[in-house]
Structure 1
Amino acid sequence: MSIFKRNSEDFLKLPDIDCSRNAPFLVILVTSRLGQMEARMAIRNTWGKERVIAGKRIVTYFLLGNNSRPYDQIGIITENILYKDIIQKDFMDTYSNLTLKTLMGLEWIHKFCPQSAFVMKTDCDMFVNTYYLTELLLKRNSTTKLFTGLIIRHSHPVRDKNSKWYVSKEEYPGNSYPPYSTGGGCVLSTDVAKEVYVVSKNITLLKVEDVFVGLCLAEIKILPEELDSRPIFFGSNVPFSPCRYRKIITSHHHSPAQIMLYWDGMERTMDEGCPGDQGNPQAVDI
């Protein structure tokens, strides 16, 4: 039996977008907590800023739960009035409910933005190179049947009750997990995102949200694939250099100040040559 209670309440906050009129190519969903406004602002001013890259529209929204502090929610109400980029439901915003937060984002895609082509799920302390991601998605020449990221294979359940990743045999009796991507940066074609959301209702919820998504993928028979022949998704903090960051998608564990600094450093040097560089798509901020 699941330790979670599935939440069927209405959304508290929805972003200001009509996907039926101007469907984005890529929707980036960022898991965040109520008190992380500084991180959200850094993302809004850098890689999360709405823009057009190689003729494709990219938008970013933040996934939030709730907490027991009313003044935090008042702040979110004000923030959403200003930026109109928050997706929120009324469940407790804890690590154990990260799976619910991810499913909330996929539910929003399923119900409100099925016209998009791709969905990325990431976190508030990630650096995301939307230029290179768009370039690689366009090279793929298909907008279906994709799940990619930092792929983990041959992983096993953690049975240590003191671990934050502990999973009991009642929750998951198997001895190994199917392939999955770390939750800090996974990319799905929208058809797969919708299928994951639908099939998730039939699978016992795990608090380890990236593994749970992997279980959903196995159920719908989607194998994670590499988007490039070289490593491009990183679950660690990649030392910064403009040329290095041009050819990666994610780097983890960044402060808001680092995100601002690194994004500026990368963008300012976009027109400069790098070894093996064959140009970058042009972007237009909206």
Structure 2
Amino acid sequence: MKHCGFWQTLRKTVISLYILLTSINQNSAHPSSKVVNPHPFKYILNNEALCEKRPDTLIWIHTAPSHIRHRMFLRDTWANPSHFRKRKVTLVFFLGLSLDDAIQDMIEYESETYHDIVQESFVDSYRNLTYKAMAGCRWMSTFCQTAKLVLKADDDMVVDVYLLFRHIESLQAKGRVLSNTILCDVWYGRYPERVSGKWNVSMAEFSEKVYPPYCPGLGIVMTGDIVGKLFYESLFEPYFWVDDVYFTGLLARTINATFEQLSSTVHFGSSRMVREQTIFKNQYQWIFYHIHERPIARMMWNMIYQREIFRLNQGLSPSA
């Protein structure tokens, strides 16, 4: 019972912050103050204490309920906070509700074991991915405000976090990536799909001819100050199911976010290059690796980690 007062205070703080985010105009102009896209979902699982040690970096993973092995792989490899020597890192997985009772039971057990899952009550589906992004923004704005950088990735990615943070530090030394910034492989001039099929976007869903500049959600980095602003703006921006366009396009446009281009850093993995360990032969500067085969992904991470250990043995300072 000795923690009762602490949790009561925390809940009051959460409620106050949520009211603040949803009621105060954060220097944003809206044709109407009417909320058109509320986020009414409840927490099914919420590990509120994840950021109690005040991390400076949040690794935010979008994951599907059934992807238990994906999450185990990430906990064991690049997203494990123990692999960071000079950053205070927290790992959190965001997901929606599973309609499979057996999977839901496994998720609850997983959360009790690792304490790194946040689950909201929307059904986890392809057309609900925007809700998942909103859930991440809402949660971080409430429970993890100390994070100055956010690395958001899908659960089938391998990220060279060492190269990534060396690059970010080089930009910060030049006065860039300090605030209101998104780093990613920025896509310009992309058109909505107007043909039938899974990716069809109707005129009623999106009436503009061209998407604004946006980031594919495989892997992006945001400065921490941007997250609360994105969540606030989402309340006034009509829901659009293409989550990448919605959050890093439409909402980022509203808050005048700055983009830092990482166009040459995404590698859609060649398993042969990884098996033969020639991935670094020509000094490639890839950061985000999209590799579906789990053994190949682990080989990729092992090479990244060993390269960092080699740097440390050479007397160089830690990369992250």
Q: TM-score range by the shorter chain?
A: 0.7 to 0.9
Query: Do the aligned partners of residues 202 and 279 (structure 1) sit closer, same or farther apart at CA in structure 2, a change above 3 Å counting?
Result: same
**1:103 Cα deviation (Å)?**
1.1
1:257 to 290, 295, 302: 295
> Which of structures 1 and 2 has the bigger CA Rg?
2
Q: 2:219 aligns with which of 157, 182, 185?
A: 185
- The correspondence for 2:280, drawn from 224, 243, 250, is 243
1:201 aligns with 2:235: yes
Counterpart in the other structure of 1:219: 254
Q: Which has the higher contact order (CA 8 A, sep 6+)?
A: 1
Kindly tell me the number of residue pairs found equivalent between the two proteins: 272
Residue 139 of structure 2 corresponds to residue 108 of structure 1: yes
Q: Distance in 2 between matches of 1:68 and 1:22?
A: 34
Q: Distance in 2 between matches of 1:246 and 1:22?
A: 35
* TM-score, L = length of structure 2: 0.78
* CA deviation after TM superposition for structure 1 residue 91, in Å: 1.1
SS at match of 1:119: strand
Letter in 2 for 1:17: A
**Residue 271 of structure 2 is aligned to residue 233 of structure 1:** no
Structure 1 residues 79 and 113: alpha-carbon distance in aligned structure 2, compared to 1, 3 A threshold: same
- 1:5–1:196 CA distance, 2 compared to 1 (3 A): closer
In the other structure, the counterpart of 2:318 is 281
Shift of 1:167: 1.3
User: CA offsets per residue over residues 14-46 of structure 1, 9 Å max, x none?
Assistant: 235353x52222211111111111111111000
Structure 1 segments (4+ residues) deviating >6 Å: none
- Which residue does the alignment assign to 1:153? 188
1:175 is aligned with what amino acid?
A: K
User: For residue 210 of structure 1, what is the aligned residue in structure 2?
Assistant: 244
Distance of 1:5 and 1:111 partners within structure 2 = 19
Cα pair 2:184 2:215 within 8 Å, conserved? yes
State the alpha-carbon separation in 1 of the partners of residues 220 and 233 from structure 2. 18
**Partner of residue 134 from structure 1, selected from 165, 168, 180:** 165
The answer to whether residue 118 in structure 2 is matched with residue 81 in structure 1 is no
**Could you tell me which amino acid in structure 1 is paired with residue 243 of structure 2?**
E
The whole-number CA distance in structure 2 between the counterparts of 1:199 and 1:5 is: 9
**1:9 maps to which of 41, 51, 54:** 41
Q: Is the Cα contact below 8 Å between 2:47 and 2:118 reproduced in 1?
A: yes
> Which residue in the other structure is 1:173 paired with?
207
User: 1:20-39 alignment to 2 at 5 Å?
Assistant: 21-39=52-70
> Secondary structure, in 3 states, of the residue corresponding to 1:270?
helix
- Distance, in Å, in 2 between the alignment partners of 1:69 and 1:254 is 24
Provide the rounded CA distance (Å) in 2 between the counterparts of 1:93 and 1:65: 4
Tell me the amino acid that sits aligned with residue 180 of structure 1.
Y
- What SS does the corresponding residue of 2:266 show, helix, strand or coil? coil
Q: Is the 8 A contact 1:171 1:204 kept in 2?
A: no
Runs of at least 5 residues in structure 2 that lack an aligned partner in the other structure: 1-35
Q: Is the 8 A contact 2:205 2:240 kept in 1?
A: yes
- Normalised by the length of structure 1, the TM-score is 0.86
Give unpaired runs (5+ residues) of structure 1: none
